[in-house]
Structure 1
Amino acid sequence: MSTASPEASTTELTIVMPCLNEAETLETCIRKAQGFLERYGIAGEVIVGDNGSTDGSQAIAQRLGARVVNIPTRGYGAALYGATLAARGRYVIMGDSDDSYDFSNLMPFLEKLRAGYDLVMGNRFRGGIRPGAMPWKNRYIGNPVLTGIGRLLFRCPAGDFHCGLRGYSLTAFRRLDLRTTGMEFASEMVIKATLMGLRITEVPTTLSPDGRSRPPHLRPWRDGWRHLRFMLLYSPRWLFLYPGLLLMAIGLVVGAWLLPGPQRLAGIVFDIHTLLYAALAVLIGFQCVTFALLAKVFAINEGLLPEDSRLNHLFRYVTLETGLVLGTLLVLGGLVGSIVAVASWNEVDYGPLDASRTLRLVIPAMLCLMLGCETILASLFLSILGLRIRRM
């Protein structure tokens, strides 16, 4: 049994900075953070998560008394994750080491953490963005759009989804079990905290221009797309389930409308060609719904998403056997429809057919066959995902 060191037990706050060749601004950031700790009499430390700097950043940090944690895995998330795991403090505040965030004014974050919040987000739009600190496309397009999408998909209370200055309790951080190593780390933290029901709040903070002479590591369009892609992949409901249900509903309504015969609407005649597209919409929609379910189960098994009580309740009734029975019934329905279609062909001695009449039998029959086969295969795959594997 291991016990916490006395130093760890008396440290309240750890200030974490990711670093990759930040020699120009690192000293300023460390001195501001240390000055904040001294001014308020806070038992704390500064940790630099170094990602392989070659400009002497490590020596600067060590000279100033900060702890340097070498992170061999490249990436913004990897540097923050590794540095946070080395933290001795009860609370952690993370921020970029490019002197764009004010490490001398962290008290609002610490007060919220002391009040029991698990994650405290900075809000640059409420605190102030100084001239030249944020490109116009980030300020007026990227951040508002991504924040809006995050609030819509996950009902996250944050008003600045991608602020790099934020605080969290070490206990909450360990519960989150974050997995990403790149820029998506910031999004994953907020999304998981929201899905797990952690207490989240935000405080105003300021953003200053980057203090470095070289271009920043951030690439707005590339990193914006990475954040958007990550949020969509983290929300199978919006990416697969809702579009799939909509497609199925449209396909079923249009198919039921056309199944009896051709229909005229606004002077346009809709017939078997539209019926075929309606069947295709049902098939694609079903695949989307199935994929939403598979993606959700996989993400939960891998620790990417928290347990979902609604899904657990659903699986009490939707079992492998249920899926196999439903799939078999659909296949049988498709076979019966195919037999009826062949019988109608026999009525004309296997000669030319009335396509409009025959395809109204063949299209639903083929749809049932495909849906039945997909249901059986999806049920088998879900049962594989549901296996409890003990990992040594």
Structure 2
Amino acid sequence: MSIELSVVMPCLNEAETLATCIKKAKGFLDQNNIIGEVVIADNGSTDGSQEIANSLNARVISVQEKGYGSALRGGISAAKGKYVMMGDADDSYDFSNMMPYLKKLREGYDLVMGNRFKGGIEKGAMPFLHKYLGNPVLSFLGRLFFKSKIGDFHCGLRGFSKEAYNKMKLKTTGMEFASEMIVSASLKKMKIAEVPTTLSKDGRSRPPHLNTWRDGWRHLRFLVLFSPNWLFLYPSILFCLVGFITSALLISGPVEVGNLTFDVHTLLFSTALFLVGFQFLLFYGLTKVYTIENELLPKPKNYNSLFKIFNLEKGLVCGLILLLIGLLLSIWAYTNWQSLNFGDINNHNTFRIVIVAVTTILLGVQVILFSLFFSILGLKK
């Protein structure tokens, strides 16, 4: 008979608690008449964890590549069940109470997350920084960046269908694997549910594998890098608008606000801000193409048409036009300087022309380089 549920546990020297977790998982399967299996994804244990798992008739999968994500990927890939439950083997999650997850999976949900804040966290089970800073902040950013409604992004006990997992195409190897799963499911518009779950104190006598600052940074880095809108697009819009509006006001002459006078020096900074914003915009485009071409982000419906709208030839023409305008403005500024017999320039209008000329030249160079790299990334098209 086909296996309905595979319970996958990553394992790295979990001899103290592994037997308890396996017994709870097997007891759940037996009590609810569920055809299932327990898969231990061993990541190089040296404390006899493999022997414990074998003695309890769990299936041991040896995963050579180090890392939490690597272990889980190896174990999930080897799982034979239609559905998969994953959870840590430190006895902090209750493997005897997985029915709320399974019910949601049977209803057709692709991913079912546990929420420890709704189910209950035993005193001392979660460090203060994790409970009140790390988890809430990272979960908020995940909801903001990816329009997800998940309240606990990092709950280790979660269930999903094997079919949905294969569509996620997860790639990370470390603790950020937990975030990648939710991000991928959200971006692919999968059906996600959340159920309350409990968190108990770690049953091990040794410190946990999780490193607060290192792994917290890995989660944050992953969320930011997988959200080019927040990393590049939105800052670029802000910088370009502020830089362009300020520059437009100052090109015609100084602007006085109370006792303050904003002149060419401010114009220099505002054009620099505009250039930085434009650079952010170009990086947004390059990042978007790279992530889509490498199947890190889903492909939008109008993706292929972008290569017809933006191509190398059009980019080169636009860049050359900007360079020509900058060159003409430079010649104009040169003639003004020549009229002064190449002496000291005290005329701020000449400085304005020079600033605009340099800005336009730099824009032209950026557009040309972007077009070349954009075309390289899209060679498949």
The bucket for the TM-score relative to the shorter chain is over 0.9
Deviation at 1:224, TM superposition (A): 1.2
1:230 corresponds to which letter in structure 2?
F
> For residues 23-172 of structure 1, what are the structure 2 equivalents within 5 Å?
23-172=15-164
Deviation at 1:228, TM superposition (A): 0.8
Once structures 1 and 2 are overlaid, which stretch shifts more, 232-241 or 303-312?
A: 303-312
1:308 equivalent to 2:300? Answer yes
> For residues 365-380 of structure 1, what are the structure 2 equivalents within 5 Å?
365-380=357-372
**Who is 1:4 aligned against?**
none
Quick one: percent identity of the two aligned structures?
Answer: 56
Deviation at 1:225, TM superposition (A): 1.4
**Who is 2:353 aligned against?**
361
1:233 equivalent to 2:225? Answer yes
> For residues 215-364 of structure 1, what are the structure 2 equivalents within 5 Å?
215-364=207-356
Deviation at 1:245, TM superposition (A): 1.4
2:211 corresponds to which letter in structure 1?
R
**Who is 2:376 aligned against?**
384
**Who is 1:13 aligned against?**
5
**Change beyond 3 A, Cα 1:355–1:82:** farther
**Inter-partner Cα distance in structure 1 for 2:121 and 2:50:** 30
1:212 corresponds to which letter in structure 2?
R
Once structures 1 and 2 are overlaid, which stretch shifts more, 347-356 or 228-237?
A: 347-356
TM-score (norm. length: structure 2): 0.98
**Inter-partner Cα distance in structure 2 for 1:385 and 1:203:** 41
**Inter-partner Cα distance in structure 1 for 2:304 and 2:347:** 46
Deviation at 1:219, TM superposition (A): 1.3
**Inter-partner Cα distance in structure 1 for 2:304 and 2:358:** 33
**Inter-partner Cα distance in structure 2 for 1:228 and 1:356:** 46
Deviation at 1:313, TM superposition (A): 4.2
Q: Is the 8 A contact 2:111 2:159 kept in 1?
A: yes
Deviation at 1:240, TM superposition (A): 1.0
Deviation at 1:165, TM superposition (A): 0.5
Deviation at 1:91, TM superposition (A): 0.4
SS in 2 for 1:316: helix
Deviation at 1:352, TM superposition (A): 2.0
1:205 corresponds to which letter in structure 2?
T
**Inter-partner Cα distance in structure 1 for 2:119 and 2:302:** 39
Q: Is the 8 A contact 2:307 2:378 kept in 1?
A: no
TM-score (norm. length: structure 1): 0.95
Deviation at 1:338, TM superposition (A): 0.5
**Inter-partner Cα distance in structure 2 for 1:275 and 1:289:** 21
**Inter-partner Cα distance in structure 2 for 1:87 and 1:228:** 29
**Inter-partner Cα distance in structure 2 for 1:147 and 1:114:** 26
SS in 2 for 1:22: coil
**Change beyond 3 A, Cα 1:229–1:37:** same
Superposed structure 1 runs of 4+ greater than 6 Å apart: none
2:331 corresponds to which letter in structure 1?
I
**Inter-partner Cα distance in structure 1 for 2:218 and 2:255:** 46
1:201 equivalent to 2:187? Answer no
Structure 2: gaps spanning 5 or more residues: none
Deviations 1:294-341 (A, max 9, x none): 111111111211112244444432222221221111111111110111
SS in 2 for 1:18: strand
Structure 1: gaps spanning 5 or more residues: 1-6
Q: Is the 8 A contact 2:9 2:89 kept in 1?
A: yes
2:287 corresponds to which letter in structure 1?
A
SS in 1 for 2:139: helix
**Inter-partner Cα distance in structure 2 for 1:178 and 1:347:** 65
2:92 corresponds to which letter in structure 1?
S
**Inter-partner Cα distance in structure 2 for 1:168 and 1:316:** 39
**CA-atom RMSD in angstroms:** 1.1
* Number of matched pairs: 381
SS in 1 for 2:309: coil
SS in 2 for 1:122: strand
Deviations 1:39-94 (A, max 9, x none): 00000000000000000000000110000000000000000000000010000000
